[in-house]
């Protein structure tokens, strides 16, 4: 699976990119037809501390899966996205 990381208004540091790679590559174990994954990182323009948004778009034949979460850190947002995506992939696999 090819993983592409896009960031708006920031430059992701190496540990964050490693975290993304590690977490997302595990999704293959739940559904083996994932072609690619696009990750978007963005700092929302709010005064709220929870302003780090991560968006994951999984390219799957027939039906892409998109998950978007906002929290206090990008790592936490990625973890939340991966947890939700995992549930959606398991559901998709059961229904196919």
- Domain 2-95 CATH (choose: 3.30.360.10, 1.10.3720.10, 3.30.160.100, 3.90.550.10): 3.30.160.100
pLDDT at 90 over 90: yes
pLDDT digits (tens, 9 = 90+) for 45-81: 888 889 999 999 999 998 899 999 999 999 999 999 9
Give the model's confidence band at 95: pLDDT under 50 very low, under 70 low, under 90 confident, else very high: confident
Q: Enter the pTM of the model.
A: 0.93
- Range 91-95 average pLDDT: 90
Helix or strand holding residue 77 (H, E): helix 74-95
Burial letters 68-89, b for 16+ CB under 10 A, else e: ebbbeebbebbbbbbeebbebb
> Beta 2-8 vs 36-43: how paired, if at all?
parallel
Domain boundaries, the chain: 2-95
Residue 13 has pLDDT above 90, yes or no: no
Q: What is the rounded CA–CA span in Å between residue 72 and residue 34?
A: 28
């Amino acid at each position: 699976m090819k993983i592409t990381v896009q960031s708006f208004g920031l430059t992701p540091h190496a540990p964050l990119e490693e975290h993304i790679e590690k977490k997302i590559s595990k999704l293959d174990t739940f559904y083996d037809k994932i072609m690619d994954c696009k990750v978007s990182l963005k700092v929302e323009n709010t005064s709220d501390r929870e302003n780090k948004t991560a968006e994951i778009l999984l390219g799957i034949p027939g039906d892409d899966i998109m998950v978007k979460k906002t929290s206090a850190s990008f790592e936490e947002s990625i973890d939340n996205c991966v947890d939700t995506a995992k549930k959606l992939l398991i559901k998709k696999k059961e229904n196919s």
